[in-house]
Structure 1
């Protein structure tokens, strides 16, 4: 009996990439590969890449450089690069690392079997980066990381062309998966005891705009809410310009949709928002927040924000701080602006010095830390519902963690194995990022 060939895969970036890797692994397992975490023992090395920030891209190129020694020691090892950086860099990767064997883009993930067969038959320096006319995962095998929560890509690509972002260039224009295909996938997951569906898209609010049938994101949520066995529905990411009152009503009326909305603000300055091509101003954004909170009880709102965008003055940054103080997000993912080739913002004058970017980032993080501390402190003494999805990473006996419907992490102990269960926990202590509680038996 021959040993199975081994594949090592490393994933960088967002949840879309994580889900892409699940489909990549599913296809490779079908082709006879086994998964290894030891890169030195692999026959196939795959890097699923990201290029949203320059630092990540540099890290990936550094890893590609280290793999050169593995290839020199064993020329039969196959090295493939996929994901957004593969789409952006294409032939540049071969120029910088001639020992790379093949490259494919996010839109080609479901064609991996064809790509691997081409490499097996000696087609080296293979590039597959064409956009496909239809977005479908029908009949594509998938091996999911979790047995509890499942990523579901409902669309890919983006039509917004924010001036700092390369996603429209790396993942192409918006393409929605068909409603029936999504419903079939979720029904199958429900039958396999999955409790939580996490819907993914660069802009889920524009789901269905490209479909011939009358499909909207709100209608899709209503259909998913009716599937038996599913306990929770989450989604990300939403664009403020497309966040409708109809969607707010749907979230309120559907009992399985979690009380958590991630709504990137990016900046509190109207000048910077316009330069970013975000297509809304800060008053419009605040009004959405007001409508959400007026209509949905116990809602948690998180956000993305960027500091140091070209031309950002101290006054612009102060506008962001004021917006944060007024809105009071539950949590914020904070980033320093990073120049990206192809993004329009890379051509703008008045680039902010790195030292000043870091200082502004620190000030914003400290403000958000205080806000999160205050919000989470109010939860002490309350009983919350928790979907248990992890055992302790620190090997602490009987320690579990899970998330509330508002997407807050809760840590507690139990002598029972409660993975995958929805339990009640009384919060006894809080921090800006984590809640600690006691299981209600």
Structure 2
């Protein structure tokens, strides 16, 4: 068992609540109304979950919420550092607020999250984006009320990327969630894997797991609020529990949550192959409330490239793991992440990735061209492969996966399955949306938003590469 992570103390929580009350009073006196906030979130589901916590803090400060930045008194960007494209989008959208700031000098612009945790980014924003009033990193998220109050009270810009990489766990803040039927539930934070291409351990800190009783309590509150499709979150959920007092592993936690009363479905992401266990697959197979879907990133089909990526498994071990999972869940669906164009990946190694995709037949792939991240080991490699060649390979990979996804969806036509109706779509003929256990989008005929939140029997009648179509079987 590793070092037990530090949980933000009750005294610190009370202190932050006092700052929230000051902010609430400040805006009441200044505006004579409730202030309005707009949050813009980039990146993974963990960032979405963090934004829910930040909105929970803002709700304590008296904020209401909008999706339109021009209506807001505070605009907060919760950022991602995994790929360069996400950073460029943040810079562009922050810069676009210059004119709004001139019209309304009291507008507060805040930047937080993984991108903000990097010193080079903080310096760039400080020098080049005077529109930003407040910047804080992932390690001090719990101090958001205090930092905002410093900005409001002192009138000076506040930048804080302090904090220990060992990180903390924040309990006791009620998230402000946008959805009721579907919900994210973080079970751990940080990462200890240090994949050579990945910036996450540097900006999220070391692995730290929440205690089971805290997770169970929040899980029950989600069910009570109407959530029926709950996704357990972590940078690597399979390594959950290494530093908890309870000593549970992830399979223990999943099994325990499945014993809760009610009709619901549990998903989880993201998994690392090196920690995925036979015990986990047994628990998934043995619990009807555990979705029979596995998101298991493989990143490359080449053992040499995997070694350079510091992934701690090889091609053969990954394929053996897939076979083991399918032994217990023959009909499960599979999704994965794959990187094209890791430095000096050869054509033959790329073809190994294609052959792995053909062999496994993933239902869905999240595909990326390698993005150099300053501060990682891979960023120091002198890459001889051109971007033109990487884009060519990327397009070839998409063509292969799109064909497989279409073929996988075709196999489901004519089947009747239990699905959760989760929303309303734009298709007039198929107005309801649902997700299968395998995370496939199913568009349904039928009327009435009263179906949302219900598990129904649905027959699949047709398909495309990207979605299924069907009818509710009453």
With normalisation by structure 1, the TM-score equals 0.96
- Give 3-state SS (helix, strand or coil) of 1:332's partner: strand
Query: Are 2:238 and 1:208 equivalent residues in the alignment?
Result: no
Check the 8 A contact 1:336/1:357 in 2, yes or no.
yes
Q: 2:178 aligns with which of 145, 154, 161?
A: 145
Query: 2-side partners of 1:178 and 1:143: how far apart?
Result: 22
Check the 8 A contact 2:190/2:201 in 1, yes or no.
yes
- Cα deviation for residue 79 of structure 1 reads 0.9
Runs of at least 5 residues in structure 2 that lack an aligned partner in the other structure: 1-27
Greater CA deviation, 31-40 or 358-367? 31-40
Q: Paired residue for 1:11? A: 41
Q: 2:270 aligns with which of 228, 237, 247?
A: 237
Check the 8 A contact 1:6/1:42 in 2, yes or no.
yes
Query: Are 2:417 and 1:384 equivalent residues in the alignment?
Result: yes
Query: 2-side partners of 1:169 and 1:6: how far apart?
Result: 33
Q: Deviations over 1:13-40 (max 9, x none)?
A: 1111111111111111110111122212
Q: Paired residue for 1:414? A: 446
- Cα deviation for residue 398 of structure 1 reads 6.4
Query: 1-side partners of 2:288 and 2:173: how far apart?
Result: 31
Q: Deviations over 1:219-259 (max 9, x none)?
A: 11111011112510000000001111111111112221100
Check the 8 A contact 2:417/2:458 in 1, yes or no.
yes
Q: Paired residue for 1:32? A: 62
Query: 2-side partners of 1:131 and 1:174: how far apart?
Result: 15
Query: Are 2:88 and 1:55 equivalent residues in the alignment?
Result: no
Q: Paired residue for 1:171? A: 204
1:21-420 alignment, distance < 5 Å: 21-88=51-118, 89-122=121-154, 124-131=156-163, 135-392=168-425, 394=426, 396=428, 399-417=431-449, 418-420=451-453
Greater CA deviation, 413-422 or 285-294? 413-422
- Give 3-state SS (helix, strand or coil) of 2:97's partner: helix
Q: Deviations over 1:249-283 (max 9, x none)?
A: 11112221100000001000111111111111000
Runs of at least 5 residues in structure 1 that lack an aligned partner in the other structure: none
Q: Deviations over 1:156-211 (max 9, x none)?
A: 11111111110001111111111111011011112222212100000000111122
Check the 8 A contact 1:154/1:177 in 2, yes or no.
yes
Query: 1-side partners of 2:116 and 2:428: how far apart?
Result: 40
- Cα deviation for residue 107 of structure 1 reads 3.2
Check the 8 A contact 1:110/1:140 in 2, yes or no.
no
Query: 2-side partners of 1:360 and 1:315: how far apart?
Result: 11
- Give 3-state SS (helix, strand or coil) of 1:361's partner: helix
- Give 3-state SS (helix, strand or coil) of 1:420's partner: coil
- Cα deviation for residue 353 of structure 1 reads 1.2
1:33–1:208 CA distance, 2 compared to 1 (3 A): same
Query: 2-side partners of 1:252 and 1:13: how far apart?
Result: 30
Query: 2-side partners of 1:336 and 1:77: how far apart?
Result: 37
Query: 1-side partners of 2:384 and 2:215: how far apart?
Result: 43
- Give 3-state SS (helix, strand or coil) of 1:145's partner: coil
Greater CA deviation, 292-301 or 105-114? 105-114
Q: Paired residue for 1:435? A: 468
Check the 8 A contact 2:297/2:338 in 1, yes or no.
yes
Query: Aligned residue pairs: how many?
Result: 440
1:398–1:365 CA distance, 2 compared to 1 (3 A): closer
- Give 3-state SS (helix, strand or coil) of 2:185's partner: strand
- Cα deviation for residue 370 of structure 1 reads 1.1
